[in-house]
A and B are shown apart, each in its own frame.
Chain A
Amino acid sequence: MSAVIEARALKKQYKGKFALNDCSFSIGKGRIVGLIGPNGAGKTTAIKAILGLTAVEGELRVLGLDPFKQREKLMEEVCFIADVAILPRWATAKDLIDYVEGTHAKFSRERCLDYLSDTDIKLSSRVGQLSKGMVVQLHLAMIMAIGAKLLVLDEPTLGLDILYRKRFYEQLLGDYYDGERTILITTHQVEEVEPLLNDVIFINRGKVALSETLDALAERYCNLTVDASRLEQAREFKPISEKRLLGKNQLLFDRADRDALKQLGDVAPPSLSELFVALLG
């Protein structure tokens, strides 16, 4: 697995406070990776560093390039959606398509128009007059028509209704992702992206708290739901977190003996959000 992003001991301080502190991770080609963490965890700084928008200490290579020093070259292979509000409101869809066509060698106008033909967006539509959902559709259509090797999405569906969110991810998987391209997503809507992801990176206080494939997570962690009568027995297996749910107790275990746990109650893999709360909460 060749690494698309290789980060070693990244450090970044803002006014004496570490946004990234000895942060290391690696993202392989063709993976869909969730970068997940609470507010202020360092996700945005990590993404800015990956896009070459901020200088960081440590070693960072994206597609073999130094993102800060070789940003323009990197942008030939990397696309980015920050959130729905970054397209200029004064521009029409045609203005933006013309601009991307004139500045990006890999852009295919035909493909972009093809994607847009499935939407209600007209070429004469001005961004300021489109709904948030349509703006993100427009942005996605342009990005899919570039076919970059790496796509970075920072809260791409923030503020969109569920229909647009669903459609966004469907298009991303159906039309963009081909198994060769890499997608890095940060979002708070963990449940929504979980079915898409191959890998997950939990980041907290500028450090990587967990970096695993989803398959490995399912093998490593498990949830046990037990009655109060068996709670003490379950606790002997040293759960990493515990909560009460509808009169039952749910305990989360890391590398526990599943066969033994199954004697005590129902064992199931935890969701990403449960893991997130347990590990970073």
Chain B
Amino acid sequence: MNAANRYSTLIKRELIEHRKAVIYAPFIIAGIMFALILVSALWNGAFKVNGTGFTAKMLESAVATKGEATLALVHQGWMFGFFMIFHIASGIVILTYSLGCLFDERKDRSTLFWRSLPVRDWETVISKLIMATLIIPAIFLIALAVLQALIVVTFVVTCWQNQVDATRFVWAPLPFLATQFWQFVSTFAGILWALPVIGWILLCSAYAKQRPILLVLLIPGVIAAGVMMMNLGKSAMWAFGGRDAARDMIVDYFSRFGHLFIPMVGGNWKDSFENVDETLLRIEPIISHVISMKGLTGALIGAALIGTAIWVRRYREDAAI
């Protein structure tokens, strides 16, 4: 039995256990969206020869009013819209998965079965981390790519039906592969950004006796309240103005999430959408965040929390018998 076989067994277990949220959900979301688009397209007569409204006709009128460069923005715009939907959905699945993955097996006592096999605790925790940070986002990305490809096909079909030049309106301005690459980089940069949160949730999942969600929310809440109280005292006594370096750093770190994705439009979505005339989806700000001091600090804190989660899983005393 080699190591690769062993790890694929651990991952396979997770995939089977969480198949509904991890495998079915992304494709169901993609299916529902595509069905809605098809119904909408049919409703608007987009597939009919010289049909009214929607897709090909829309593209023609956009070019007529705003010029040829608009086509690239329009295509990036709709792809980005679906990306955000999948991004949020995968975020919810990742957080829910992380919350339950080390807790549920203790709750139903199956941990005694899993731990009766010669699998190291760190291997189990790492397999769950791989699920949360690589497999789940990857499956969502695949489902998203399938959906986007199907939409492109729909565009092309409507162009043909309406005798509109598909090369001019779809193939040439549509940066399909570049967008896939951007989605890939953004997703995993987002995961790196969220590593302290994922690590914290895994730790709570490994530690909680009853409801991990309470620990996840309560402890940061209590700490935040404590910091605020201390600041109130400080500002009253020394008139420091309530500034706190640690708090500012945390707020800045988390508010950066928005900037990470909106910045592909340069930090201001609306302005950029109207002014940028070539590439909406930029990779540089995302990469520069990931390799920044803040990005690396966040990843390190996340790694430390995951290490603690492994320690708790290994040494906690109440492995129920």
| A99 CB contact (under 8 Å) in B13, B115, B321 | B13
A residues within 8 A CB of B113? 86-88, 139
| A103 CB contact (under 8 Å) in B10, B17, B315, B319 | B10
Inter-chain contact A48/B321, CB cutoff 8 Å: yes
Proximity string of chain A (168-183) to chain B, C-beta cutoff 8 Å, 1 when within and 0 when not: 0000000000000000
Q: Knowing A82-B321, A87-B113, A88-B108 touch, does A76 contact B118 (C-beta < 8 A)?
A: yes
Interface 9-mer from B1-9, B156-164, B300-308: B1-9
Inter-chain contact A85/B109, CB cutoff 8 Å: yes
Closest Cβ of chain B: how far from A177's Cβ, in Å?
Answer: 19
Inter-chain contact B321/A75, CB cutoff 8 Å: no
B residues within 8 A CB of A101? 9
B177 within 8 A of A: no
Inter-chain contact A75/B9, CB cutoff 8 Å: no
B117's nearest neighbour on chain A, judged by CB, is A103
B interface residues, how many (CB within 8 angstroms): 26
Inter-chain contact B112/A72, CB cutoff 8 Å: no
Inter-chain contact A154/B118, CB cutoff 8 Å: no
Inter-chain contact A98/B12, CB cutoff 8 Å: yes
Closest Cβ of chain A: how far from B128's Cβ, in Å?
Answer: 14
| B109 CB contact (under 8 Å) in A53, A86, A90 | A86
Inter-chain contact A87/B110, CB cutoff 8 Å: yes
B317 within 8 A of A: yes
Inter-chain contact A102/B9, CB cutoff 8 Å: yes
B119's nearest neighbour on chain A, judged by CB, is A103
Closest Cβ of chain A: how far from B92's Cβ, in Å?
Answer: 20
| A82 CB contact (under 8 Å) in B105, B112, B120 | B112
Inter-chain contact A53/B117, CB cutoff 8 Å: no
A residues within 8 A CB of B112? 80, 82, 86
The B281-321 residues at the A interface (CB cut-off 8 A) are: 315, 317, 319, 321
A residues within 8 A CB of B5? 102
B113's nearest neighbour on chain A, judged by CB, is A86
CA distance A174 to B13 in the complex (A): 32
Number of A-B contacts (CB under 8 A): 78
The range of chain A's interface size is 20 to 34
B residues within 8 A CB of A75? 115-119
Inter-chain contact A88/B12, CB cutoff 8 Å: no
A residues within 8 A CB of B6? 102-103
| A88 CB contact (under 8 Å) in B105, B117, B317, B319 | B105
The B1-55 residues at the A interface (CB cut-off 8 A) are: 1, 5-6, 8-10, 12-13, 16-17
Proximity string of chain B (72-115) to chain A, C-beta cutoff 8 Å, 1 when within and 0 when not: 00000000000000000000000000000000010011101101
A139's nearest neighbour on chain B, judged by CB, is B113
Inter-chain contact A100/B317, CB cutoff 8 Å: no
CA distance A95 to B6 in the complex (A): 14
A47 within 8 A of B: yes
CA distance A78 to B118 in the complex (A): 9
Closest Cβ of chain A: how far from B238's Cβ, in Å?
Answer: 44
A163 within 8 A of B: no
| B115 CB contact (under 8 Å) in A44, A53, A88 | A53
Most A C-beta atoms less than 10 A away, residue of B10, B13, B117, B120: B117
CA distance A122 to B116 in the complex (A): 23
A12's nearest neighbour on chain B, judged by CB, is B317
The A57-115 residues at the B interface (CB cut-off 8 A) are: 71-73, 75-76, 78-80, 82, 85-91, 95, 98-105
Inter-chain contact B321/A72, CB cutoff 8 Å: no
CA distance A44 to B10 in the complex (A): 28
B-side residues, CB < 8 A to A, are 1, 5-6, 8-10, 12-13, 16-17, 105, 108-110, 112-113, 115-120, 315, 317, 319, 321
A-side residues, CB < 8 A to B, are 44, 47-48, 51, 53-55, 71-73, 75-76, 78-80, 82, 85-91, 95, 98-105, 139, 154
List, sorted by A's number, 12 A–B pairs whose CB atoms are closer than 8 Å: A48-B321, A53-B321, A75-B116, A82-B112, A86-B110, A89-B108, A95-B16, A102-B5, A103-B118, A104-B117, A105-B118, A154-B321
